[in-house]
Structure 1
Amino acid sequence: MASMHDLIEQIEDKRERERFRQVWEESIREKKFGLVFEPHLPELLPLPKVKPRRGDLVCMREGSLKNLWRVRRVANGIAFCVKPGADGQGGPVDPVQFSLDELLVVRQFGEPIFPALVPMDQVQNGQVGAPWHTLIEADNFHALQLLDYLYAGKVDCIYIDPPYNTGARDWKYNNDYVDGNDGWRHSKWLAFMEKRLKLAKRLLKPDTGVLIVTIDEHEVHHLGMLLEREYPEAHQQLVTIVINQKGVAQGRLSRAEEYALFCFNPAVTLAAHHDDLLSPDRGESKRFQTPRWEWLLRGGTNSRREDRYGLFFPITVDPALRKIVAIGDPLPPDQQPDLSNLANRRTAWPLRTDGTLGNWRVSPPTLRLLLAKGYVRLGGFDEARGTWTVLYLGQKAQKQIEAGVIEVVRKDEVTGEVEVRYTEAQQRSIKTVWHRATHDAGNYGSSLLRGILGEGGKFSFPKSLYATRDAVATVVRDRPDALILDFFAGSGTTLNAVNLLNATDGGQRRCILVTNNEVSAEDAAMLSERGLQQGDAEWEAQGICRAVTWPRSKFTILGHRDDGAALTGDYLTGKAVDRERARNFTQIGFVDPASIDTLAKKKQVVALIDGLPQTLVKEPGTFVVSDDHKASVLFDPSAADDWLEALEGQDHISDFYIVTPTKRVFDSLKVRVVELLGPLLVAEEEKRPMGAGFAANLAYFKLDFLDKDRVALKQAFREVLPLLWLKAGAVGPRPELPRGAAEPPFFDPAGTNFAVLLDEGAFRKFVKTIGKRTDLSVVYIVTDADEAFKDMADEVRHALRLVSPNVEVVQLYKDYLANFLINTRLDHDLNGQGGQA
C-alpha cells in the first residue's frame, strides 16, 4: 500500500492525482474479503563478522540497516561505495569513501547466497552409527534455502512456533523491533511469514508431509488465510489447545488457549491413539487402558503343588536384563526344590503367599511356546514370597490377538516380550480441542525450562514439552524414522519432545532446529550501554541460540548440566506401564453376619461403600461381585467358597469388604483372595528420569556464506563437507578435513554413508575402493563436464548395484551452485509478490 501511495504522488496533474487517491482509498475501504498486505522492503540480514569486499551491500554500523551502499572497490582499509543501482542511472557516479571499520556487511533477501555450515559444537550420547540431530544458528530464511538443497521433498513434519505479533516487541523486521505502534505490523508479519512458508512447502513430502503452526488470537485468522493461499492442496484443520486453565485476564474474557493450524498433504492418514486429548471419561488412569497380563501363579482351587505336580517347575531368570531365559521341567513329586539360593534372584518358583509350594497355570511346553511368541514377561521381585512375579497373556488375550482386537506393537529386542494394545477399533481419533493438564505452558514450559537451565536460564513463553510432543506425535507416531523440522526453534522444545518420543517407542526420528542468536530488547540495551555491539563475543553469548537452545539441547541429551549437576525430576512418557499394587481389604467387624438377614439390611451396608450401587444386592445376597465395579462384599463367610469361585478372573477388583467380627476368619479369607487373584496390576503413566538423558547425537552449526568463485574453482571442499554429510542423512560421526591438509583425490570417511570423488583422475581407484561398501547412500562426483558425470555416475551405480543398489549420485559443485541460483530467482518472486488472495 505504501508503494501505491508513492506512485500516486508521482502523478504531476493535481486533479488526476487527487482522483487516483480517492479511488485507491475507496477500494481499500470497500474490500470485503481476501488477504491484502504489502510485500515491504526485502528483508535484510546484518553480518557483523564479515569484512566488506567488492560487490557487497553495506550500511553504517551506527546507522540504519536500510541505508544501503554498494562497495565498488576496497583499497588500503577504505571502501569506495555508491548507492545501489546508481551505476545504471546514466553517467559516472563518484563513490563515497568509508573506513572499513565503519561498515557493516548486509545480505538482502533475493541476493544470491552460497551457504556453508561452521561446526560450533556437538554432543554424542547415542550409538556411533545412529543419525544425528542438527541445530543451525542462522536467520531462518537463508537456513531454509540451505535446507532446500539438503532435504527438498523429504521432511515428514514441520512444526513451528513463529512470533505471535502481539505488539510486545517480540520480533524484528529489518533489525527493528515491531511493536503495537507500528501501523504496518500485521502486513510486515504476513510478508515475513509468506516468504518462509513458501520455502517450507518445498521441504515437505508432497503426499504425506504435514505443517503445524502454533499461533494465538492476534494472527490466527490472517495465518489461516495465508496458509489457504500457499497450501491450496492441503487439508487444513484448527486445533484449540488449553495452555493455561486459569486463564489470563485481559480486561475482557480470560484467555486460556492458543491454536495449532495443521496442513495435511493429500495422502496423510493419522493413527488412532488411546488418548484423544480431550475426552475426560477415561480419566488420568483410564487413559492408559491396555490388555491385561495375568498372574502365572495359580490361585483358588487346585493351587497347591500336590494338586498338579506337572505344573510345578522352575523358570530361569536373568535379573540384570529382567529377562526369562528358560523354562524348566516339572520336578518329580518325591523331590523338593532347592530354595536356598533364592537370594540370587535367578530362579522363579511357584511359591504361594503363605510360603507353601503352589503351581503354575500352564505346562512347560505351553509356556515355552508362549515365551517364544513374547506372551510371557517378568514382573517385579516379590520380597514377601522371595521369588519373581511372572505374568502372561491368558487365553482371552490370545484369542483377542487372533481376532484382531489386540495388536502386537513391537517385540522388545532384549527381553523378547511383546508390547500390545487394543486396535484402532478400541482407540480414538485425536480431537480438535485438546485439554490436558500436561499442556500447561507454566508448569511444563517455563518451570520445566528453569529446571533444565537453572534459575539463570530465561526465555519468554516456552511451549509445554508435552503439548509439542503431542502435536508432533499426532503426525509421526507411526513414522519411527521421520524427519522433523522446526525453523523457529526458540528454546529447543521440539528436539526435547522428539527425543522423549524416541525414547518412549524406540524410534529414530531425526530433528532439525533452526534459530537465530538474537538477544532480548532489554539485554541489547544493557549491552549497548557498555559499548558492546552485535558480533562481540559477550553479546553473542547472551543470544538465544547460545544461551538457551544449545544448552537445553545438550543438557537434556546428557542428563546433566556443564557443572555436572544432574537434571532432577521425571518426564511423563505418555506410555502405560503395569505397576503391582496391594489389594485393599476392610473388615466390617461391627456387624454380625447373622444380623443382616434381609436384602434391605445388606443394602444399608453397601450404602457405606463409595462407588458400589445398592442395586447389586440380589438374592441369595451372600456376596456382591460385579464385572463393572472395583469393590466386592462378602456378607456371609460361610459362602466363602462360592464367593471365591465368583471372583475367579475378576482381576479388576481392588477393594474387598468382609463382614465378620473374627480377625482370624478375615485374615484367612484375605490370604485366599490374594492367592486367587495375585497382586493388583494398575496401569500408570511411565516416567523417565530426566537425569537419564537420551541416547541421541546432536551437531551444532552456524550458517556462513561462501564466495561463489571459491566454490566454482573447487576451493571450498572443507566448508562444504558438513553439507554433504547432512545431505546424506547425517549418519555416523561428522567427518572433517583438518586445516592445512591437502584435499585428497577422493574422500571415503569411515562410519558414514557417503563418499566423494574430488579428482576425476582417481576415478578407477575410487570405484574400486567403494565397490564393496554396503552402507553407501550418496556418492558425490566433482566435475564440470556433464557427459563425464553421466558416464561416471552410471559406472558407480553399476559397481554398487549388488551392495548399495539405491545409491544416489550427485554432481558437485554444479548441483550446489545451480540450486542457489534457482533460489535467487525464487527470492525475486517472493520479494515482488504480495497483494491479495
Structure 2
Amino acid sequence: MEKLTAASPEAQSADLVAANIEQLKALFPELITEGADGVAVNVDVLKALVGDASVTDADEKYGLNWHGKRRARQLALTPSTGTLRPCPEDSVDWDTTRNLMIEGDNLEVLKLLQKSYAGKVKLIYIDPPYNTGKDFVYPDNFQDNIKNYLELTGQVEGGQKISSNTESSGRFHTDWLNMMYPRLKLARNLLREDGALFLTLDDTEVANMRRIGDEVFGEENFLANVVWQKKYAVANDDPGIGVMHDHVLVYRKSDAFVRGLLPRTDEQNARYSNPDNDPRGEWASDNYVSNKSKDERPTLWYAIRHPLTGEDVWPEEHAVWRYSQEKHLEIEREGRLYWGPNQSYRKPRLKRYLKEVQQGIVPPTWWTFEDCGHNDEAQKETSALLGQKVFSTPKPLRLVQRMLTIAAPKDAIVLDFFAGSGATAHATLKANAEDQGSRRYIVVQLPEPLSADNNDQKSAALFCDQLGKPRNIAELTKERLRRAGVKVKADNALFVGDTGFRVFKLDTSNIRAWNPKSHDLEATLFDHQDHLLEGRSEADVLYELLLKLGLDLCVPIEKRRIEGLDVHAVGGGVLLACLAEKITREQVEPLAQGIIAWHKVLAPAGPAGRESTCVFRDSAFQTATGEADDVAKTNLAAILEQHGIQNVRSL
C-alpha cells in the first residue's frame, strides 16, 4: 500500500512545470536532458531546432517587462500545498447544488482547481481591483503563500499585511502587474478551447493589460476592447475631462471560440410582417439596387420587365442591380420580387424572410448604459437586495448578462475569481431562469478584513455584525448569493433550477508536511506518527482527495457502512475511501470484501477497475497495544489488488 505524504504528487496541485516539460518531450524528445536539479531543457538544442534567431534571452526584445515579472511567472508555476475545506454550514442546498463559492486567495485557489477544472470553463469574467493609487490586498509571498494568506486575513497570528500601492511608492504599475500576471496564466489553463475571458478595468492599466493579455493568450486571440458607458452623466465639479466609460477586454482561448449573438430588438422585428399571406412567413423588403456603376459591374446592368406596365426598367446610370441576371431570374421564379402595393413601385425590391435573417445581432464594441446598465443601477440592485449599501463598486447584472449571452451557452461553467459583490453568480442564476439553462458558477473571493474605523468600509463591517458573521468581504459575497437565489426563485415561479452553492475555504493541507524541529527531533517524530493534521474531519480529507485526484468538487458522493466503518464512493466508484481512525486485523477481511462487492455494483469506468483509487488512513492500522500493524495494512491492500482495485493508498 503506497503511502501519500505532503511531498507526493497526489498531495499537491498540478505541477505545471512538469506538464510543460512533458509536452516538449512529446514534440521534441531531443530537447530533454539531465541538469543539476534533474530533468532540464537543452537551450542549445532548441536553438538548433528553430534557428538561433528564433531564440532570444536578450534584454532588447519586444514585449512588456517590469521588475518582478520572472518571479511572477515562477509563482504561477509553483504548486500549491493547500486545500479547500468544505463548509456545509455556510452553503445553500449542499447536497444538490453544482455551484461553488470559494473563500480564499485566488492565486492559490486557481492552482488547486487546475487538476479538476483544466479545460472545462467556458467563460471567465473578472473585475479585478482597479489600480487607483489606493491599497489592494494581494501581496503574494513566494516562499509560503498559504501562511501569508492566513496572516493577511487575520486567521493566524502575525498581523494583517496590506501593501501600499500609491503612485509615490515607485511601484505603482509593477505591484498591480505582478498581482495580475500569474493569475491570468493560471486562468487560461482552466478555459475550454472554445472559451473566452472578459476583464473590466479603467484607463490606468488598459494599455499594460493589453500587452500581458497578448502575451498570455496570444495576440491573435485578442477579440475586442469593448467600451462600456458606466455613467449617464459627468459630475459638474470634475476638474478634467469627465470619465464616463470603462474597458472590457475580451480574449479567446483559441479560434475554436464562436461568439453568441445579441437578441434582436422588438423594433428590428417590427419591420417584418406578412401583408400578402406569403406561406414562407413574415418578410421585409430589401434594396435591389447596388451603388456600384455599370463601368465597375457591367454584368449587373440589364433590363427588368415591369409586371404591371410591361416596360423595361433599368438601374440609374450610377447604379446596377445587386444580383446577376441568372440570380434575378431565379428570384423572379420564386416570387420574391416585390413591386410595392398594387405593383406601384418603379423599381423592384427583394422579399427577405425573417427566418432567413441571422437570428441575432453581432455584438458591437460600444456598450451603452441603456443596454448594459451603469454604476448607479448596480448600486441600486445590491442595495435593494441587501437592504443597504455595502459594496463600493458593484457591476450591473445587465453588463454580466451580455457577456453570458456572447460567451456562455446554457451548459457553461462560468468562473469569476474576483467575485466581490457576486454579480457574476447572480447574473448566471438570472440567465438560467430566463432561458432554462443549467450554467454553473465558480466564484472566488478573498476574505479581506473590513474595519468599522474605516469610513469606506464602515457600513459593510456593520452589516457583517448584523448577520452575525466575521467582518470580511467574502461574507458579503455569500450573503448576496443567498439572497440572489431567493430573489431569482421569487421572480421566476416556474424555475426549478439550481440556486444553491457549496462553500469551500482555503487552508493548509490536511496532510502534515515534514517540518523537523532541530532542537527536539524526538518530538518531531512523535508529531508525525499521524500524517493528518489534528482537528481535520473526514470530509476535509475526502475533498482534498477530490482536488488532488482531479475530480469535480460537486461530484456525487455515496456512503455505506461496512463492518461498522464509513466507506465513501466518489464519482461512481472512481475514488473509494475509508478514513476511519482505527481498522483492526479482524475487520480487514470483511471490510475488503464489502468494498469489492460495492465496487462491482458501481462498475466505474476502466478495465478491471484500474482507474479506481482506494484510500485509507495510514495510522488506522494498529495492534491492540497501539503499535503500527503493517500486516493488517498489507493484507487489506493485497485482497483489494487481487480483485482488480490496483491503486491502494494510505494517508
Normalised to the residue count of structure 1, the TM-score between the two structures is: 0.45
Distance 2:228 2:539 in 1: 46
Structure 1 pair 163–770 and aligned structure 2 pair: CA distance change class (3 A): same
From 222, 228, 251, the equivalent of 2:214 is: 228
From 536, 540, 546, the equivalent of 1:719 is: 540
The aligned counterpart of 1:748 is 569
Structure 1 pair 732–151 and aligned structure 2 pair: CA distance change class (3 A): closer
Q: Structure 1, residues 297-351: CA drift from partner, whole Å, max 9, x if none?
A: xxxxxxxxxxxxxxxxxxxxxxxxxxxxxxxxxxxxxxxxxxxxxxxxxxxxxxx
The aligned counterpart of 1:781 is 613
Secondary structure of 2:86's partner?
strand
Secondary structure of 2:501's partner?
strand
Structure 1 pair 263–187 and aligned structure 2 pair: CA distance change class (3 A): same
The aligned counterpart of 2:244 is 256
Tell me whether 1:265 sits opposite 2:238 in the alignment: no
Secondary structure of 1:219's partner?
helix
Deviation at 1:182, TM superposition (A): 2.2
Deviation at 1:244, TM superposition (A): 1.1
Distance 1:772 1:287 in 2: 57
Distance 2:453 2:390 in 1: 12
Structure 1 pair 538–175 and aligned structure 2 pair: CA distance change class (3 A): farther
Structure 1 pair 436–526 and aligned structure 2 pair: CA distance change class (3 A): closer
Distance 2:453 2:357 in 1: 51
Q: How does 1:141-290 map to 2 (within 5 A)?
A: 141-173=107-139, 175-205=162-192, 207-232=193-218, 235-236=221-222, 237-247=224-234, 250-266=238-254, 267-275=256-264, 285-286=266-267
Distance 1:114 1:290 in 2: 59
For the 8 Å contact 1:115–1:146, the answer to whether it is kept is yes
Deviation at 1:240, TM superposition (A): 1.1
For the 8 Å contact 1:248–1:256, the answer to whether it is kept is no
Deviation at 1:495, TM superposition (A): 0.3
The aligned counterpart of 1:37 is 66
For the 8 Å contact 1:134–1:513, the answer to whether it is kept is yes
Distance 1:469 1:509 in 2: 12
Structure 1 pair 452–692 and aligned structure 2 pair: CA distance change class (3 A): farther
**Structure 1 segments unaligned to the other structure (5+ residues):** 1-29, 44-106, 276-281, 295-392, 404-420, 561-565, 568-687, 797-808, 818-837
Deviation at 1:292, TM superposition (A): 8.0
Q: Structure 1, residues 204-226: CA drift from partner, whole Å, max 9, x if none?
A: 12x21211111110100001101
Structure 1 pair 168–758 and aligned structure 2 pair: CA distance change class (3 A): closer
From 432, 438, 455, the equivalent of 1:502 is: 432
The aligned counterpart of 1:450 is 383
Q: How does 1:364-763 map to 2 (within 5 A)?
A: 395-397=279-281, 422=355, 425-455=358-388, 457-476=389-408, 479-520=409-450, 523=453, 541-546=470-475, 548-559=476-487, 688=491, 695-709=498-512, 715=532, 717-723=538-544, 728-731=551-554, 744=566, 746-748=567-569, 753=572, 756-758=575-577
For the 8 Å contact 1:156–1:210, the answer to whether it is kept is yes
Letter paired with 1:766: I
Letter paired with 1:261: L
Distance 1:758 1:290 in 2: 63
Secondary structure of 1:708's partner?
coil
Q: Structure 1, residues 680-727: CA drift from partner, whole Å, max 9, x if none?
A: xxxxxxxx4699896422111211112534799774753132355675
For the 8 Å contact 2:450–2:457, the answer to whether it is kept is no
For the 8 Å contact 2:76–2:185, the answer to whether it is kept is no
Q: How does 1:96-115 map to 2 (within 5 A)?
A: 113-115=81-83
Deviation at 1:753, TM superposition (A): 4.8
Give the share of equivalent positions with the same residue, in percent. Answer: 22
Distance 1:235 1:793 in 2: 51
Q: How does 1:69-148 map to 2 (within 5 A)?
A: 113-119=81-87, 121-124=89-92, 131-148=97-114
Q: Structure 1, residues 60-118: CA drift from partner, whole Å, max 9, x if none?
A: xxxxxxxxxxxxxxxxxxxxxxxxxxxxxxxxxxxxxxxxxxxxxxx999585231313
Q: Which has the higher helix share?
A: 2
Deviation at 1:555, TM superposition (A): 0.7
For the 8 Å contact 2:83–2:112, the answer to whether it is kept is yes
Letter paired with 1:462: P
Q: Structure 1, residues 567-588: CA drift from partner, whole Å, max 9, x if none?
A: 8xxxxxxxxxxxxxxxxxxxxx
Letter paired with 1:213: L
Tell me whether 1:768 sits opposite 2:571 in the alignment: no
Q: Structure 1, residues 722-743: CA drift from partner, whole Å, max 9, x if none?
A: 35567544557777999xx986
Structure 1 pair 514–773 and aligned structure 2 pair: CA distance change class (3 A): same
For the 8 Å contact 1:559–1:694, the answer to whether it is kept is no
Distance 1:145 1:289 in 2: 50
Secondary structure of 1:489's partner?
coil
Q: Structure 1, residues 510-554: CA drift from partner, whole Å, max 9, x if none?
A: 1001001113466469999xxx9xxx99997221111x2011100
Structure 1 pair 782–734 and aligned structure 2 pair: CA distance change class (3 A): closer
Secondary structure of 1:703's partner?
strand
Deviation at 1:247, TM superposition (A): 3.6
Distance 1:482 1:211 in 2: 13
The aligned counterpart of 1:679 is none
Deviation at 1:184, TM superposition (A): 0.4
For the 8 Å contact 1:290–1:422, the answer to whether it is kept is no
Q: Structure 1, residues 179-224: CA drift from partner, whole Å, max 9, x if none?
A: 333220200110111111111122112x212111111101000011
Secondary structure of 2:540's partner?
helix
Distance 2:493 2:247 in 1: 28
For the 8 Å contact 2:573–2:599, the answer to whether it is kept is no
For the 8 Å contact 1:441–1:461, the answer to whether it is kept is no
Q: Structure 1, residues 333-391: CA drift from partner, whole Å, max 9, x if none?
A: xxxxxxxxxxxxxxxxxxxxxxxxxxxxxxxxxxxxxxxxxxxxxxxxxxxxxxxxxxx
Letter paired with 2:102: I
Q: Structure 1, residues 784-823: CA drift from partner, whole Å, max 9, x if none?
A: 99xx99x969957xxxxxxxxxxxx9x6869xx9xxxxxx
Secondary structure of 1:758's partner?
strand
Distance 2:466 2:197 in 1: 36
Deviation at 1:773, TM superposition (A): 4.3
Structure 1 pair 701–139 and aligned structure 2 pair: CA distance change class (3 A): same
Letter paired with 2:81: I
Letter paired with 2:169: D
Letter paired with 2:382: L
Distance 2:376 2:504 in 1: 31
Normalised to the residue count of structure 2, the TM-score between the two structures is: 0.57
Q: Which has the higher strand share?
A: 1
Secondary structure of 1:503's partner?
helix
Deviation at 1:439, TM superposition (A): 2.4
Secondary structure of 2:194's partner?
coil
